[in-house]
Amino acid sequence: MHRSPIKFCKDCGAAVVYRLPDDGDTKLRAVCPACHAVHYENPINVVGTVPHWGDKVLLCKRNIEPRFGKWTLPAGFMELGESTAEGAARETVEEAGAQFEMQELFSVMSVIHVGQVHLYYRAELLSDVFDPGFETIEARLFTEAEIPWDEIAFRTVSQTLKHYFADRKTGQFGLHHESLV
């Protein structure tokens, strides 16, 4: 995993040590020797949508790193105080300026090597007019044949799009779950 380890206690500020907690836990944890708080490092949720309009999906060209200039589904980090669906909707408004109706959860991708879980919901677009935010260079609709597959920013997006178009052909949309290593 690429995240830096916890160095200081979030409760009292003392330097933590990595050891097995006294409660019988079997994983090394950041434990505060001063106040005995145990700090857990958990995956981060990335939430987004697969916005669709007829036989097309909406993609956003990234105006930020990582993967500046590459295409992605509208998505981003989930915030405290929101559900996964609320976060996905917020990101779709922020990145694409799209008008849509949220649908069901469509894909769950565990990205183990970076400690993330990506959750994508289907979203039916109510308009083909977009007003992208500062994180997006361009928001555009693509048919399956038009998708710039070599310019997709993240593997979770490619996988989700492949599942979406395969399901669209059958007319049955399922929930897709996989782990990417």
In tens, the pLDDT along 26-38 reads 999 999 999 999 9
Cβ 38 vs Cβ 19: under 8 Å: no
Helix (H, G, I), strand (E, B) or coil at 111: strand
* 7-16: long-range pairs with CB below 8 Å, 24+: 9/34, 9/35, 9/37, 9/39, 10/37, 10/39, 11/35, 11/37, 12/37
Instruction: Give me the pLDDT at residue 23, please.
Output: 83
Q: What is the pTM of this model?
A: 0.91
Tokens 């409760």 belong to 11
Using a 10 angstrom Cβ sphere, with 0-12 exposed, 13-18 middle and 19 or more buried, the burial of residue 75 is: buried
Helix (H, G, I), strand (E, B) or coil at 31: strand
**Record: fold of 44-180:** Nucleoside Triphosphate Pyrophosphohydrolase (3.90.79)
* Cα–Cα dist 150/161, whole Å: 13
pLDDT in tens, 91-141: 999 999 999 999 999 999 999 999 999 999 999 999 999 999 999 999 999
Listed by start position, the domains of the chain span 1-41, 44-180
DSSP-derived pairing of the beta strands 17-19 and 38-39? unpaired
pLDDT exceeds 70 at position 3: no
**Which helix or strand (DSSP H or E) is residue 94 part of?**
helix 84-96
Among 100, 121, 98, 96, smallest CA distance to 46 is for: 121
* Cα–Cα dist 8/14, whole Å: 5
Report the top-level CATH class of 1-41: mainly beta
What phi and psi values does residue 113 have, to the nearest 5 degrees? -70, -15
Reported as a pLDDT band with limits 50, 70 and 90, residue 24 is confident
The whole-chain average pLDDT of the chain stands at: 96
